[in-house]
Chains A and B, each alone.
Chain A
Amino acid sequence: QQPVQSPQAVILREGEDAVINCSSSKALYSVHWYRQKHGEAPVFLMILLKGGEQKGHEKISASFNEKKQQSSLYLTASQLSYSGTYFCGTDDGQNFVFGPGTRLSVLP
């Protein structure tokens, strides 16, 4: 079952912050976050594992609430290069499913 992402789209000015949320109805083994720019392949940002382990890029932060099966991606002091579509991917041990994506636009 596909996770739910919110918001669907967000527009920021350079330097502003944003939060993207992802929730699942299933108990999760891990949550992944990826960014995809138009015409390019998705790029790994962060993985959050059940039990609290996290791996990702230094400038990216995220959280995973295991009780609620919810994850949030925090983008601070946004840069023009942050523009793209952000996908969360959830692994419940049986299937890996990407969310519908959140389109982020950062304007100068």
Chain B
Amino acid sequence: DAGVTQSPTHLIKTRGQQVTLRCSPKSGHDTVSWYQQALGQGPQFIFQYYEEEERQRGNFPDRFSGHQFPNYSSELNVNALLLGDSALYLCASSYDRGYEQYFGPGTRLTVT
């Protein structure tokens, strides 16, 4: 049983560009959450998707948007990249709220 997968593993972008990160949840999971983790800090909640809709959102600007597809996979889009967006982006899946989250290996985004 494949766990949570994310692509790409690493990404380098230039300030002002746009980026799309992808996540496939663990089999049987219908809820996907995205987190941003800066070096030495805890993961910061970006948003959560359930049934193709954004259910919860953390304190992130509208430059951060997402989408969930009918197969429960998800994308995170970040527009107008800033240097401060450089971080590890983690995707986690779960079976609805109230259940444990399984994290993917993350995508390391570097903005230059």
Interface residue ranges, A against B (CB under 8 Å)? 29-30, 32, 34, 40-44, 47, 49, 55-56, 85, 87, 91, 94-101
A40 to B90, CA, bound (A): 10
- Do A97 and B100 form a contact, CB below 8 Å, given A41-B90, A42-B90, A87-B42? no
- Decide: B42 and A41 in contact? CB cutoff 8 A: no
Interface pair A87/B43, CB less than 8 Å apart: yes
Give the size category of B's interface with A: 20 to 34
A-facing residues in B77-112 (Cβ within 8 Å): 90, 92, 97-106
What are 6 pairs between A and B in contact, CB < 8 Å?
Answer: A29-B98, A34-B101, A34-B103, A47-B100, A49-B98, A85-B42
Distance between Cα atoms of A43 and B3 in the complex (Å): 12
Q: Which residues of A contact B104 (CB under 8 A)?
A: 41
Give the contacting residue for B42; candidates A30, A91, A101; CB below 8 A.
A101
